[in-house]
Chains A and B, each alone.
Chain A
Amino acid sequence: MRLETFWIILGMAGVTFVARFLPMALLSRWSIPERIRLGLEYVPVAILSAIVFPLLFFDQTGNFEIQPRCLLSALCAFAFAWKVKSVWGSVLVGMLIFWMLGFML
């Protein structure tokens, strides 16, 4: 096992455990303030967007680039997820379109 990977896993485990354990350890003596509760509501949408957009607009070497193959596949996966709300379905649609566009573009 590489040392860098080991530290990544250990660090991830540590911060995740803190988020899971802290409220339990304080045994409901501390209730989460409304402001923080509202903020937490938007964490997933913010993080996922911050991951997805750069994946679509930057190439493998980290240069900004309009990539029609990625954008079209992403739009199809997005539309399918919006209509059908199936995780496996969207992943398969995204992969399928990406695979087929590889032959066309």
Chain B
Amino acid sequence: MDEPAWREGVKAATPIVLGYLPVGLAFGVLARRAGLTTPEAGLMSLLVYAGSSQFIAVEMISKGALWFPIVVTTFLVNLRHLLMSSTLSLYLNKKSLRVLALLAAQLTDESFAVAMSNRSKLAHGFAYLFGLQVTSQVAWITGSVGGAFFGGLIDHEGYGLPFALPSLFICLLVLQIRSPVHFWMMITAGVSSLIFKATFSGNWYIVLATLLTLGIGVLIHRTGRKGTERIER
């Protein structure tokens, strides 16, 4: 029964593939712009495979950041996988650690969302999830390598390309603002990051501003829930 389940997973990945190919292409182009080579961009998509953190890393690399601040920032960005992984673990009981490691390595927001939309498939074994995730990652790597390859041929300063990454981050930021508290978190993190950047050398301002904002966020939730209700948009 494993073969059909695997194929079902591959089919379920179709919308993800359509999303990952163009975003992967964009990543490849921007990675190239930041000075990464095509093999480096491909290796990052193979081993890290986490879109937003890869875009952030590329931005930090282009600003000359060293490995330690980049790795700590990546860790913070990808902490949200804890939630998805703990939800998925409910459906993956009695699997060997090796199988779990394989499934965990390819967990993304998108594959998680598709897997959760059809939970009955998860109950029959891991072949479905495996097919879904492998197909998605193949699309991501293909896009990245293609983008990095063709990115070498594009004029990197033309067509507003220097503002592609800032626009992407701004849009992702807007999509995160779900309550008035989120908005004030943005102001807190934004202003404190400016102060930290002006005060300390290196690229630690992202980590420092994030931790400060998280601390304030947790305190707000302790003192009361006013303003944390979601806004309808």
Contact = CB atoms under 8 A, between A and B. Distances in A.
Contact of A73 (B43, B56, B167, B169): B167
Contacts, number: 282
Interface string A27-39: 1101110010111
A27 to B, nearest CB: 6
B80 A12 contact: no
A27 B104 CA distance: 12
A27 B44 CA distance: 28
Nearest to A64: B198
B33 to A, nearest CB: 13
Contact of B218 (A1, A7, A38): A38
Given A28-B86, A95-B163, A45 B176 contact: yes
Contacts of B217: 38-39, 41-42, 46
A22 to B, nearest CB: 7
A102 to B, nearest CB: 8
B167 A19 contact: no
Contact of B175 (A1, A74, A85): A85
Contact of B177 (A45, A53, A90, A96): A45
Contact of A74 (B59, B70, B166, B205): B166
A98 B56 contact: no
A100 B187 CA distance: 28
B162 A98 contact: yes
Contact of A20 (B26, B107, B169, B214): B107
Given A44-B52, A45-B182, 12 more contacts: A5-B36, A12-B44, A22-B85, A23-B85, A24-B85, A24-B86, A27-B93, A49-B185, A53-B191, A74-B170, A90-B167, A91-B26
Interface of A: 1-2, 4-5, 7-28, 30-32, 35, 37-58, 62, 64, 70, 73-74, 77-78, 80-82, 85-88, 90-100, 102
Interface of B: 22, 26, 36-37, 39-40, 43-44, 47-50, 52-54, 56-57, 59, 61, 66-68, 70-86, 88-90, 92-93, 97, 100-101, 103-105, 107, 158-164, 166-177, 181-182, 185-194, 197-198, 205-206, 209-210, 213-214, 217-218, 221, 233
27 contacts: A1-B37, A1-B39, A8-B67, A12-B71, A19-B82, A24-B89, A25-B101, A32-B82, A38-B218, A39-B217, A40-B79, A40-B83, A42-B181, A43-B76, A43-B210, A45-B182, A46-B209, A47-B56, A52-B173, A54-B193, A56-B166, A74-B166, A80-B171, A81-B175, A82-B233, A92-B167, A98-B163
